[in-house]
Chains A and B, each alone.
Chain A
Amino acid sequence: METILAFTALGVLLVLGMGAFGTAIGFGLLGGKFLEGAARQPELAPMLQVKMFIVAGLIDAVTMIGIGIGMWFTFANPYTAALH
């Protein structure tokens, strides 16, 4: 039982950590490209900003799914339930 809990905690940490890592890099690239584009053509900045938010939502998606799964494993662990 302790082994399951320990490995679940490690698994959740990996999911959250790697999700954060990927999202941070993705947002950094996205924001950088947006700033470059806005600097080249300032009149397009509002339109580019809207599109940036749309892509930001897409980047966040799998990370958030990972967070949801991580929270599910933390608070309603199916492996411990399967033990009972």
Chain B
Amino acid sequence: MATEGLTPTSYIQHHLQNLVYGRLPAGYERSDGTILEQDTWTIAHNSSEAVDMGFLAINVDSMAWAVGLGIVFSYFFYRAAKKATPGVPGLWLNFIEMIVEVVDKNVKESFHAKSDLIAPLALTIFCWVFLMNLMDLVPVDWLPLLAATAAGDPHFYFKVVPTTDPNITFGLSLTVFALIIFYSIRFKGVGGFISELTLHPFSSKNLLVQVLFIIPNLILEGVSLLAKPVSLALRLFGNLYAGELIFVLIAMLGYWQLPAHFVWAVFHILIIILQAFIFMMLTIIYLSLAVEHH
């Protein structure tokens, strides 16, 4: 990335910018000075263009890597499932069976109702989040440089770790949130769900006092309900964003990069496994709370 005007701040900001595809309105002045005659769907050339594209803009690099890694995970597990036999498994099959056993044990310990969705959901979340986090261990400049030479544009933005993009983590956690509400309603009924939000934790035998308690109950339970997807998403995002940022900062150290990168990468291996595991465990626990009757 040896271009004129490369300062530390611009290097960092280059590595923190996604490849954004969106619509720029007519009359918009782009970074190279041209003025658009009509609404164009295009790739942003700098971060202020990316911001001006608004809500409907897509982070193409995060989406492509997330979907691609999901396909990789599905393909490998599908092939392993096809080849599974009752006899002694080979090395790869053994590894996959270990992962499935760990997930199965955790689901059995925490989830006490009947559902065919929970264990595959937990397995998918764990493996997919782990694979997305794993992209952070590839040295910082390699994949972006490869993409920039392939695209022929030295200022090509390319972030390869989907979980450093809050859009991806919120996509995962809002899906889990939708499942929490769906399972609550399915196992407790709409009435049970609403009564759990409005009649706990303050309750009373007196009907008038009970009605007065609905508002404070709703506030407390509502905050606790909304905290679940928000904290799930931001925990994963914060951990991975901070990790990637430290990799980028270490990359500016010159030759001292090598020991520092190694030390941080070893610590980061723990973080990525732990965060994937925590996302999976919290999903299982929230869903088990959703189906529990008091």
A60 to B238, CA, bound (A): 10
A71 to B249, CA, bound (A): 12
Given contacts A65-B234, A68-B238, contact A58 B278 (CB under 8 A): yes
A76 to B47, CA, bound (A): 9
Given A57-B278, A61-B238, A62-B231, 17 more contacts at CB 8 Å? Answer: A57-B274, A57-B275, A57-B277, A58-B278, A61-B235, A63-B238, A64-B234, A64-B235, A65-B234, A65-B235, A65-B238, A67-B238, A67-B241, A68-B237, A68-B238, A68-B242, A76-B13
Task: List CB contacts (< 8 Å) of A28-84 with chain B.
Answer: 53-54, 56-58, 60-68, 71, 75-76
Given contacts A71-B241, A75-B12, contact A53 B277 (CB under 8 A): yes
- Name the contact of B242 in the complex, choosing from A54, A62, A64 (C-beta under 8 A): A64
List, in ascending order, chain B residues with CB within 8 A of A67's CB. 238, 241-242
Chain B: how many interface residues by the 8 Å CB criterion?
A: 19
A1 to B116, CA, bound (A): 57
Classify chain A's interface size. Answer: 10 to 19
Q: Nearest-CB distance from A4 to chain B (Å)?
A: 16
Taking chain A's interface residues, is the majority helix, strand, or loop, or is none over half, making it mixed? helix
14 contacts between A and B (CB under 8 A): A53-B274, A54-B278, A56-B274, A57-B277, A62-B231, A63-B238, A65-B234, A67-B238, A67-B241, A68-B234, A68-B242, A75-B9, A75-B12, A76-B47
Q: Name the residue on B nearest A67 (C-beta).
A: B242
Q: In this assembly, does B225 line the interface, its C-beta being within 8 Å of a C-beta of chain A?
A: no
Which of A56, A57, A60 has its CB near the most chain B CB atoms (within 10 A)? A57
